[in-house]
Chains A and B, each alone.
Chain A
Amino acid sequence: AQSVTQLGSHVSVSEGALVLLRCNYSSSVPPYLFWYVQYPNQGLQLLLKYTSAATLVKGINGFEAEFKKSETSFHLTKPSAHMSDAAEYFCAVKDSGGNTGKLIFGQGTTLQVKP
């Protein structure tokens, strides 16, 4: 079965500092991986996705993620944090069983940005 583990339920950085949110996956087949962001009391918004093309994926709002098969990781980074980046971030893997389109989510990481 596929799964996603996000290391660290809370991450705190200073404004202007590097953002690194960690995600490791487990999958017996080449995975499709996603990062979503959720602002308070809102739905999830897609940041970026990996679908077996380039291993470095660029997304919206200056975020990017690198797929590393040897490490089974898909960490999310941003060179310089903004106050507006404070939100909850979810890593997800697409369920490979059947054509259901289901996503399996990690537990989420809350990003706090300090002024």
Chain B
Amino acid sequence: DAEITQSPRHKITETGRQVTLACHQTWNHNNMFWYRQDLGHGLRLIHYSYGVHDTNKGEVSDGYSVSRSNTEDLPLTLESAASSQTSVYFCASSEPGYEQYFGPGTRLTVT
């Protein structure tokens, strides 16, 4: 069965370190998205991609970057982790015009 996976599921890192969260989907979807989920804020879009080599900023993109070198993967990089980036991160994918499918999430703690 097709799926979307994220790794690691849990990560603890120190302030200032670079961190990369992986997202891999086997749906062969063109669209991929990264969200963060925080209490009181719901889901907020960080970055998104409509295809290979395409990336776009979402509403909370500062301090984050993505690159899309193939259809299956959209890694999210925190250039210099800050305590404000402690959150749960979700990756999602979709075909244009259709619902999104979500990964299980990565819980990131920045100390």
User: Do the two shown chains form a genuine complex with each other?
Assistant: no
Instruction: Show the binding face of B for A, using Cβ within 8 Å.
Output: none
